Homo-oligomer: A and B are copies of this chain.
Amino acid sequence: MFSKIIKNVKNNTPLVHNITNYVTVNDCANVLLACGGSPIMADDVEEVEEIVSISSALVLNIGTLNSRVIESMIKAGKKANELNIPVILDPVGAGASKLRTDTAFRLLNEVKFAVVRGNMSEIKALGNTDAKGARGVDADVADSINEENLTEVIEYIKLLSERMSLVVAVTGAIDIVSDGTKTYIIRNGHPMMGKISGTGCMLSSTIGAYCGANKDNIIDATAAAVCIMGLSGELAYEKMKKNDEGTSMFRSHLIDFMSKIDDEMLKEGAKFETRQ
C-alpha cells in the first residue's frame, strides 16, 4: 500500500525545517522524530535560508504569527522553491483574523506550496468562498465534512486543488486529500483527537517528513501521513479507554503509536478509498 512511501521515510530520516507556532512546537518536534524524520526549528530571517538548504522539507504554520516571522517564512519558502524542496502550509486559524487570512494569501502568492493542510473552515477561508470565519482553530461545525455532504466537499476540494496547483488535505471526521486528479477519502481517526492540542500541527509536520522523503509522489505521501496519524489516534483511544485514562495519556499514546506503526499495522488498520 504505502510500503515504499514509509520505507523512504525510515531510510532517509528527512530533516524537516519548521517555522511554526510556540503552542505545539514541542509536539511537532517529537512527532517528527517518532515518525522517522528529524526536526529543526529556526525562524530568524538571518538563518532561515541556510537552514532550509540543509533540509528535506519546509513546514510553515501560522498558529502564532508575528510580523518578524512572516518575513522569515517568505524568505525560507522562496529558497525552498529554488532548491526544489517541498513546502507545506498549515493555515491555522485562517478566517479567524485578517492577519492570518492575509498572511495565508500572501504566502500562497509568494511561495509555491506542495501541500496545504487545514480543517474545512481554514481551507474554505483560503478558497475564499462562503467562509464565515473560522472559530479559533477548530472546524466550524457548519463547515465540517460528513457522509451527507461528502460528494459536494470532494468536488470543492478537487476544484481548489486544481486552481491552486497543489495537494489539498482537509482533515475532520472524514479526511480528504486531493491533487485535483487523484482523491483520497480517509476514514481513520477518532473524535478524541480534537480534545488535545496539536493534532493538526503534528500532522502537517509529519506530512513534511513524508513529502521530504517522497518528493516525486506528494499525493501518496500526504495521504499516507494522514492515514498513519488517524490510525495512531484510533489505537491511542483504544489504549486510553482500556486503561481508564484521560486526554493527556491519549496524547502520549498517539505519539507512541506514531513511533510504532509499521507496514503491517497500517495494512490492517488503514481505511481509505481513492477516486480518480
What residues of chain A have their CB less than 8 Å away from a CB belonging to chain B? 15, 21-27, 29-30, 33-34, 38-44, 46-47, 50-51, 54-55, 63-68, 93, 96-100, 133, 135-138, 194-198, 245-249, 251-260
A254 to B15, CA, bound (A): 25
A99 to B51, CA, bound (A): 10
Residue numbers in B under 8 Å from A253 (CB-CB): 248-249
CB-based contact A47/B196 at 8 Å: no
Smallest CB gap from A99: residue in B:
B47
A104 to B26, CA, bound (A): 23
Residue numbers in B under 8 Å from A26 (CB-CB): 23-24, 26-27, 197-198
Query: A106 to chain B: closest CB distance in Å?
Result: 13
Q: Given contacts A34-B247, A46-B67, list 19 more A-B pairs with CB under 8 A.
A: A24-B29, A26-B27, A29-B197, A30-B196, A34-B195, A34-B248, A40-B137, A42-B65, A46-B98, A46-B99, A47-B97, A50-B98, A54-B96, A54-B133, A66-B68, A246-B255, A247-B255, A248-B259, A249-B252
CB-based contact B33/A247 at 8 Å: yes
Among A23, A67, A98, the one with the most B-chain Cβ atoms within 10 Å of its Cβ is: A23
- Beyond A25-B23, A136-B38, A248-B255, whether A66 also contacts B43 by CB under 8 A is yes
Task: Show 16 residue pairs from A and B whose CB-CB distance is below 8 angstroms, ordered by the A residue.
Answer: A23-B25, A23-B26, A24-B26, A26-B198, A34-B247, A38-B136, A40-B93, A42-B64, A44-B65, A44-B66, A46-B97, A46-B98, A47-B98, A54-B135, A248-B253, A249-B252
Residue numbers in B under 8 Å from A194 (CB-CB): 33
Residue numbers in B under 8 Å from A251 (CB-CB): 30, 248
Residue numbers in B under 8 Å from A54 (CB-CB): 96, 133, 135-136
Smallest CB gap from A260: residue in B:
B246
A107 to B42, CA, bound (A): 19
A55 to B46, CA, bound (A): 32
CB-based contact B51/A97 at 8 Å: yes
**A41 touches which of B41, B55, B63 (Cβ 8 Å):** B63
